[in-house]
Amino acid sequence: MSILVNKDTRVVFQGITGKLGRYYSQQMIDYGTKVVAGVTPGKAGEIVNGVPVYNTIKEACKASAADCAVLFVPAPFTKDAFMECIDAGIPLVLCLTEGVPVQDMMIVKRRLMGEKTVLLGPNSPGIVTPGEFISGLMPKEAFISGKIGIVSRSGTLTYQTADILKQSGFGTSTCLGIGGDPIIGVGFVEVLSLFEKDPDTELVVLIGEIGGQGEETAASFIKEHMKTPVVSFVAGRSAPEGRTMGHAGAIISGGKGTYQSKEKAFTEAGVPVARIITDLPNLIRKKLNS
């Protein structure tokens, strides 16, 4: 099985007429993902990669029964794109856009309260259920089907982890990046909860990084609520305090969000932490055999 996406997921691609939209929608289609509609205001009636284009999300959903939106929209317009998806009641929205203003995300986060829409991102590398669904920046070569779930804050480390596991004979059930911005949609706890309910996910790999307290919160959730084993890796072990490292959310301040605090929280929750990312397969074997 999988979480959030599978072979039946139907995608509306917002921003499909742009250069990146054309490229990545074709990659999804070639993989077998059902891209059933595209949206670009003012471009209704066009056909891109065999996909009909509409002016609005509501029009696209009515015509195609789409239940997932993939957003390739410039940062200044992303908030409005989110609102349009939420108003249309789309169950899953994936946003890859970087640089979405924090103020905009504060408004979106509040708007999501009580709604059925699940937002993955912004600044997410995508989500993959191997052999069934691929989206975002994920390279298909990194994935084989299996029973290891992967959730990550880092974009590159999301699919790098999948490839490391693949080289060691481990496949993934679903692999997704939640995004590294200060304010995002779903976080570690929501994704871990979904993996815990998936009977075919035998173990979860959590990829964290310095900054924020999402990993500490995840550790508490794992300790109190999860039976599915978890192993982890936290990027930024040698990063100097107070310096942003790649992601807008990867900043430590006042002793909060440090590598040491995250490692301590995971260790106390019974979650082994890999010192280097290539140690993950060994930790997985130990967990599965314990």
Out of 85, 247, 258, 259, the active site residue is: 247
Q: How far apart are CA 194 and CA 57, in angstroms?
A: 27
User: In this structure, are residues 186 and 116 in contact, taking their beta carbons and an 8 Å threshold?
Assistant: no
Task: Give the count of beta carbons closer than 10 Å to the beta carbon of residue 276.
Answer: 8
Task: Give the count of beta carbons closer than 10 Å to the beta carbon of residue 289.
Answer: 6
Q: How far apart are CA 57 and CA 70, in angstroms?
A: 11
Q: Is residue 181 helix, strand or coil?
A: coil
Tell me whether residue 247 is one of the annotated catalytic residues. Answer: yes
**Rg for the chain, CA atoms, rounded:** 19
Per residue in 245-266, is it b (16+ CB within 10 Å) or e — as a string? bebbbbbbeeeebbbebbbebb
State the DSSP H helix or E strand holding residue 285, giving kind and residue range, or none if neither.
helix 280-289
Catalytic residue numbers read 247
